[in-house]
Amino acid sequence: MANLLGVVLFALVILISVSLHEAGHLLTAKAFGMKVTRYFVGFGPTLWSFKRGETEYGIKGIPLGGFCKIVGMTPQDDDVEEADQPRAMWRYPVWKRTIVMSAGSITHFALAIIGVWFAAVSMGLPNPDLPTNDEQVRKEPAVIALGECVVPENVARECTPADPASPAAQAQMRSGDRITSLNGTSIGNYGDLLVALRAAAPGSTAEIGYVRDGQPATTTATLATTQRPPLDDPDGPVGPAAALGIGLRLTTPQMVTYSPVDAFGATAEYTGNMAVGTYEAMKRIPQKVPALWDAITGGERDMDTPISVVGASRLGGEALANDAPEVFLLLFISLNFFIGVFNLLPLLPLDGGHIAIAWFERARSWLYARFGKADPGRVDYLKLMPLTYAVILVGGAFTLLTITADVVNPITLFSR
């Protein structure tokens, strides 16, 4: 029940953020004097509406977004009444049109930034000092996270009854123990532990020194056998290696809270990192299409594959069901930021496509004037319709692909 409520709640906050996106267009257009005839939440049949001034506001039956109708967005719009011609959007200066068309994305960015600041002072943000690569991980103290088993092959998967039990568990070790020696070799960090394990023979008995709750202790464990590549060549050939059935338990706090003042700096840093991460994720989208198809046809779902609003809502529900509201909030933040960036791509029918055309017209007019030529006028949107339809087709196919993957093989953040 908690999961279902979380799914519904996450879908609702996304619908609200999309409605605020359209409200950004509405308010800026009205502020500049453009005529806005309709503002609706949802699509399809009208459930309820009212008219105030020249604008009709309402709710439609399919809660999958919203829209804001601004008169005369393009010169080719044929539904502009003669009295409204001076207020047609395309007649306004390019900077005003840019503000109106970017207002939706700016709203998403504002929601994301406010959310980051709120998370920073309440639930905390991911610690920027957490190790992010193998070199940093190996410098961490050798504090262990106890595993249930040893997976004999070189893959990451859940334990099965056929897998050998964790030698460290059989030796009565616990998560949180810090290993200080292995077979007489001093262990200063997790990297030292990996080196010492590679030097040990699979199946041999290891003498282990460790510290628990500040008290030193020793134990022995019969090392299991697994397959691993060389430590200095993660892509190299795998071979037999000794294993304790443990992982690294980070001692660095994963989340950090800030004072209201310090939260501004943390928000700026987190937002900058989010911008870089979003850019990198968008570059990888074409590469992830085969992985999405593989997930649909029975393969394992890659955690790094794109998700739809359906998948994000499922993760939001999962977060609340597992008492992790910070995950819910960070999902909301990252999704809003991604929508804001995606919507500014210079492709029709996205807002970024309209902005790109407006500035192209402005640059072309300036260039023609410099050479003493007549202004070529406005771009004919009708000639761009084949490209627009192609973008819609590709975008629709990709959306369907991600939704299908999120239904038949969803990403999960918590153990089932």
Predicted local confidence at residue 375, as pLDDT = 86
Q: What is the mean predicted confidence (pLDDT) over 158-180?
A: 91
Percent of the chain whose predicted confidence (pLDDT) is above 70: 99
Predicted local confidence at residue 274, as pLDDT = 92
Residues 6+ positions from 60 with CB-CB distance below 8 Å: 40, 41, 42, 43, 44, 45, 46, 47
Distance separating alpha carbons of residues 57 and 389, to the nearest angstrom:
29
Residue 2's pLDDT band (boundaries 50, 70, 90)?
low
Tell me which of 22, 82, 140, 153 is the catalytic residue: 22
Predicted local confidence at residue 356, as pLDDT = 95
Greater model confidence, 388 or 79: 388
Greater model confidence, 78 or 119: 119
81 is catalytic: no
Predicted local confidence at residue 263, as pLDDT = 94
- Each domain of the chain, given as residue ranges in start order, spans 134-248
Q: pLDDT tens for residues 248-307? A: 888 778 889 999 999 999 999 999 999 998 998 888 888 888 888 888 888 878 888 888
Predicted local confidence at residue 187, as pLDDT = 93
Q: Which class does domain 134-248 fall in?
A: mainly beta
Nearest to 334 by CA among 415, 273, 285, 265: 273
Q: pLDDT tens for residues 133-164? A: 778 888 889 999 998 899 888 887 888 888 89
Nearest to 25 by CA among 343, 359, 360, 356: 343
Q: pLDDT tens for residues 362-379? A: 999 999 999 988 888 888
